[in-house]
A and B are shown apart, each in its own frame.
Chain A
Amino acid sequence: GAVVSQHPSWVICKSGTSVKIECRSLDFQATTMFWYRQFPKQSLMLMATSNEGSKATYEQGVEKDKFLINHASLTLSTLTVTSAHPEDSSFYICSARTLASNTGELFFGEGSRLTVL
């Protein structure tokens, strides 16, 4: 099956610093990747849709300048949380869809837990 790798799996940083999270599709190409945020015991909230070679599409209420998304290749998307603050602490999960998929089935990374002190 399709494998998505996410790194780092957890990160602790000081308030005001920036953190980059990588999402890689290991055995398939993904023109579209999705970034979700999940608070404890809650559902996944879509933050943005990352499109290879073009600007990401952000959901309403998500700050573009705060959460920078780059999708430079068909196998890599990155999410950078800029000037992180404690309220940005969360579980961030990426997902990808194979080029051939027309059902919307997503393959997920293992998530990255961000803790901002």
Chain B
Amino acid sequence: SQQGEEDPQALSIQEGENATMNCSYKTSINNLQWYRQNSGRGLVHLILIRSNEREKHSGRLRVTLDTSKKSSSLLITASRAADTASYFCATLTGGGNKLTFGTGTQLKVEL
């Protein structure tokens, strides 16, 4: 089964709006990471939040982590058409050698 499940599976918003994506996971983690994937391309690392952190910011990105609920959210503020992509959460577990990816959210930002 998936370590990370994301919702929504797909999200369509207008440029300028905020986009929020959620990720839930099952086991305890060392950290949780968010990646972005443009269609047919590799993944790009966006932001990492450690298990002892609750919130982190990077530019227009804001990530929260609730370890009691085993969930994380990614907020993209003032979205742009160029933000259109798939977003995946990934968790680093156990021995810290393996990242397990969530199911992903396909974000579409329309002009």
Q: Which residues of A come within 8 Å of B, CB atoms?
A: 4, 6, 32, 34, 36, 41-44, 46, 49, 91, 93, 95, 102-111, 113
Contact = CB atoms under 8 A, between A and B. Distances in A.
B43 A95 contact: yes
Given A103-B92, A104-B30, A46 B44 contact: no
B41 A104 contact: no
14 contacts: A4-B42, A6-B42, A32-B97, A36-B101, A46-B98, A46-B99, A95-B42, A104-B30, A104-B92, A104-B97, A106-B43, A107-B45, A110-B41, A111-B42
A113 B41 CA distance: 10
Interface string B98-111: 11111110100000
A108 B103 CA distance: 18
Nearest to A32: B97
A95 B103 CA distance: 18
Given A43-B103, A43-B104, A105 B41 contact: no
B interface, by DSSP: helix, strand, loop or mixed?
strand
Given A102-B96, A103-B48, A43 B42 contact: no
Given A43-B102, A103-B92, A108 B97 contact: no
Interface string B80-105: 00000000100010001111111110
Given A43-B2, A43-B104, A103-B48, A108 B98 contact: no
Nearest to B45: A105
Contact of B41 (A32, A103, A107, A111): A111
Interface string B36-47: 000011111100
B86 to A, nearest CB: 8
A113 B40 CA distance: 8
Contacts of B41: 110-111
Nearest to B38: A110
A104 B44 contact: no
